[in-house]
């Protein structure tokens, strides 16, 4: 598996560290049922068999956080962009 | 047919023409009392104990492919009960006790071999944590022995004791741990369950659930609709996708774990050994191959194959532990899909959906749990209450904060 870093080009997966699903959003502090919202955000996952948006860190390269869309059935990388470019 | 020395002799004298299939490949009936989704070790052992312990034989085990070709056929066959936490330890010890009587119970040679499981330690801090775990095991009545470097050298003289960075100081040994033959476990449970009237239905993929008044009333499958009063999921690896059909999101991620077997060599490794300064474990099969593995690859995957950096990491750890294997060639490697739960421990519980029961989240420790998993899941399905030793394996423990986190890693599944 190779990930095409926007800064460094196509690099071996060993240079990257995986964090997990990019869908994580911290619930707003004034949300009702805050405990339930946190349980949902921290513990529950879609875990799809198919395209998955996820966060990778290029620790052995440019130190950028990337948002990678990858097919979990084939490991095919479908899209890579900077995590900071992620639309809400 | 009961297997014994006499049945073997009779067949030997008649040219082995009389062997019957070990179990019945059934066609699905329109309805059952209990449906178990997943024909792996856990699903089949659940069916066996439902029939044997609880007298419930109107049971179907639905398998999308052929039985035992999922994770039951993709593991490294290690059995042990060397757990620290009081919520886990009695469960795995029940499994160990069931392993010890399994061949007699099933009348099937599952090749249970209690050759010992040895976890090596390489620092004072690691020794202290193993002492703590060993004491916790002994307080639960489980066997555990702390070995020093001299004891380990006597058992395994071929290890690299001269390693300056990670010297082998000793190990925690569970003498009753060991290995079992994974395929035989599947076939043995299938034969025993089928013999008591359970239908084992292959090539029958569940594609959805049937609903009736807010509860599940059956499953849609590639071989037609099948109704049941209770449905148990035992599909670890694919738990999220099956649960998704019932509208559930679960505290589980699917990850790939690779395993390896080398070409056959003469007897070398007498027990199961784990390296404490990396993640590497190895045992030697009766055929002579070294069966070994390490960490999961670390990213979500349903691909049943991993990537090369993990292969390199596992082989480097192996070389650091036992340089003697440097010229042994790897014969095969493969990947299995693990239900990585958010605390590294499994789930055997009811779900928020009435009539639907969950057995999953086995991480990469499902094989050793096969007997107790089925025993406790059968108890839950039959009596609607958890078995005594599986009370902590609840689905709501994440929301309630009663986690069973053996490694203390927090909700980061790829680190468990």
Regarding whether B232 and B84 lie in a shared domain, the answer is: yes
From CA B29, how far away is CA B35, in angstroms rounded?
11
Q: What is the pLDDT along chain B (416 residues), one digit of tens a residue?
A: 899 999 999 999 999 999 999 999 999 999 999 999 999 999 999 999 999 999 999 999 999 999 999 999 999 999 999 999 999 999 999 999 999 999 999 999 999 999 999 999 999 999 999 999 999 999 999 999 999 999 999 999 999 999 999 999 999 999 999 999 999 999 999 999 999 999 999 999 999 999 999 999 999 999 999 999 999 999 999 999 999 999 999 999 999 999 999 999 999 999 999 999 999 999 999 999 999 999 999 999 999 999 999 999 999 999 999 999 999 999 999 999 999 999 999 999 999 999 999 999 999 999 999 999 999 999 999 999 999 999 999 999 999 999 999 999 999 999 99
- Between B182-195 and B370-383, two packed helices, what is the crossing angle to 10 degrees? 30
- Between B370-383 and B89-100, two packed helices, what is the crossing angle to 10 degrees? 110
Confidence of residue A86 (pLDDT cuts 50, 70, 90): low
Contact A47 B298 (CB under 8 A): no
Contact A18 B301 (CB under 8 A): no
Regarding whether B367 and B297 lie in a shared domain, the answer is: no
Fold annotation for A2-24+32-85: Folate-binding fold (3.30.2270)
pLDDT at residue number A24: 86
Confidence of residue A85 (pLDDT cuts 50, 70, 90): confident
Does residue A54 sit at the B interface (CB-CB below 8 Å)? yes
Category of B308 on φ-ψ map: left (φ > 0), alpha (ψ -120 to 50) or beta: alpha
Regarding whether B132 and B30 lie in a shared domain, the answer is: no
| A chain contacts of residue B316, beta-carbon cutoff 8 Å | none
Contact B342 A43 (CB under 8 A): yes
Regarding whether B365 and B309 lie in a shared domain, the answer is: no
Regarding whether B375 and B259 lie in a shared domain, the answer is: no
Regarding whether B128 and B66 lie in a shared domain, the answer is: no
From CA B340, how far away is CA B413, in angstroms rounded?
5
Contact A72 B302 (CB under 8 A): yes
- Residue A88, pLDDT > 80, answer no
Contact B399 A21 (CB under 8 A): no
Regarding whether B199 and B74 lie in a shared domain, the answer is: yes
From CA B106, how far away is CA B2, in angstroms rounded?
10
CA distances B95 to A37, B89, B105, B219, B369, Å, are 36, 10, 13, 30, 6
Interface of B with A in 18-77 (CB under 8 A): none
From CA A80, how far away is CA B10, in angstroms rounded?
66
Among B70, B299, B306, most A C-beta atoms within 10 A, so best to mutate, is B299
Task: Give the model confidence (pLDDT) of A47-70 as tens digits.
Answer: 999 999 999 999 999 999 999 999
Does residue B344 sit at the A interface (CB-CB below 8 Å)? no
| A71 beta partners | A51
Confidence of residue A25 (pLDDT cuts 50, 70, 90): confident
- Cβ-contact B69, B349 below 8 angstroms: no
| B chain contacts of residue A20, beta-carbon cutoff 8 Å | 253, 300, 412-414
B161, B165, B169, B172 alpha-carbon torsion, rounded to 10°: -100
Regarding whether B349 and B228 lie in a shared domain, the answer is: yes
Regarding whether B276 and B170 lie in a shared domain, the answer is: yes
* Residue B14 domain-assigned (yes or no): no
Contact A54 B300 (CB under 8 A): yes
* Residue B9 domain-assigned (yes or no): no
Range of the domain at B151: 117-176+253-341
Locate the domains of chain A by residue range: 2-24+32-85
Percent of chain A at pLDDT exceeding 70: 97
pLDDT at residue number B1: 86
Question: In chain B, how many domains are there?
Answer: 2
Interface of B with A in 185-224 (CB under 8 A): none
Place of tokens 């993640």: B279
How many residues in total does chain A contain? 88
pLDDT at residue number B179: 98
Give the distance from residue B340's alpha carbon to the nearest chain A alpha carbon, in angstroms: 10
Q: Is A79 exposed, middle or buried (0-12, 13-18, 19+ CB in 10 A)?
A: exposed
| A chain contacts of residue B309, beta-carbon cutoff 8 Å | 12-14
* Residue B7 domain-assigned (yes or no): no
Give the distance from residue B249's alpha carbon to the nearest chain A alpha carbon, in angstroms: 6
Among candidates B351, B360, B62, which has minimal Cα distance to B219? B62
Regarding whether B238 and B284 lie in a shared domain, the answer is: no
Q: Is B197 exposed, middle or buried (0-12, 13-18, 19+ CB in 10 A)?
A: middle
- Residue A87, pLDDT > 80, answer no
* β B356-360/B347-350 pair status: antiparallel
């Amino acid at each position: 598996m190779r990930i095409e870093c926007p800064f460094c080009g196509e690099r071996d997966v060993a240079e990257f560290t995986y964090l997990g699903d990019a869908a994580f959003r911290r619930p707003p502090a004034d949300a009702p049922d805050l405990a339930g919202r946190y349980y949902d955000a921290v513990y529950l996952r879609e875990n799809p068999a198919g395209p998955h948006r996820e966060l990778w860190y290029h620790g052995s390269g440019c130190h950028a956080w990337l948002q990678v869309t990858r097919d979990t059935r084939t490991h095919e990388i479908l899209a890579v962009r900077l995590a900071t470019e992620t639309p809400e | 047919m009961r297997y014994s020395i006499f049945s073997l002799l009779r067949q030997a004298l008649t040219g082995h023409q009389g062997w019957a299939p070990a179990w019945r490949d059934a066609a699905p009936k329109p309805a059952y009392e209990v449906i178990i989704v997943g024909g792996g070790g856990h699903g089949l052992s659940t069916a066996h104990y439902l029939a044997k312990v609880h007298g419930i034989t109107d049971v179907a085990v639905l398998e999308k492919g052929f039985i035992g070709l999922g994770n039951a056929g993709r593991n490294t066959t290690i059995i042990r009960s060397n757990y620290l936490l009081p919520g886990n330890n009695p469960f795995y010890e029940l499994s160990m006790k069931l392993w010890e009587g399994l061949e007699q119970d099933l009348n099937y040679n599952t090749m249970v071999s209690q050759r010992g499981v040895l976890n090596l330690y390489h620092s004072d801090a690691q020794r202290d944590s193993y002492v703590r775990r060993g004491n916790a095991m002994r307080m639960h009545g489980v066997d555990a022995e702390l070995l020093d470097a001299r004891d380990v050298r006597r058992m395994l003289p071929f290890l690299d004791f001269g390693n300056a960075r990670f010297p082998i100081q000793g190990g925690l040994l569970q003498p009753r741990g060991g290995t079992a033959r994974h395929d035989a476990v599947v076939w043995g449970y299938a034969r025993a369950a089928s013999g008591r009237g359970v239908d084992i239905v292959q090539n029958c993929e569940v594609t959805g659930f049937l609903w009736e008044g807010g509860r599940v009333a059956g499953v849609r499958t590639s071989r037609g609709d099948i109704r049941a009063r209770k449905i148990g999921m035992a599909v670890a690896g694919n738990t999220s996708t099956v649960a998704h059909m019932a509208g559930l999101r679960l505290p589980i991620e699917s990850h790939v774990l690779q395993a390896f077997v080398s070409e056959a060599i003469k007897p070398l490794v007498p027990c199961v050994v784990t390296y404490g300064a990396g993640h590497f474990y190895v045992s030697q099969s009766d055929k002579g191959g070294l069966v070994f593995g390490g960490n999961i690859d670390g990213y979500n995957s349903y691909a049943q194959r991993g990537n090369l950096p993990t292969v390199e990491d596992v082989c480097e750890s192996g070389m650091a532990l036992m340089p003697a294997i440097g010229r042994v060639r790897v014969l095969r490697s493969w990947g299995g899909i693990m239900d990585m739960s958010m605390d590294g421990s499994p789930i055997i519980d009811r779900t928020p959906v009435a009539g639907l029961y969950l057995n999953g989240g086995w991480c990469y420790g499902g094989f050793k749990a096969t007997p107790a998993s089925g025993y406790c899941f059968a108890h839950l399905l039959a009596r609607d209450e958890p078995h005594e030793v599986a009370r902590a394996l609840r689905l709501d423990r994440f929301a309630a904060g009663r986690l069973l986190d053996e490694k203390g890693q927090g909700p980061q599944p790829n680190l468990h």
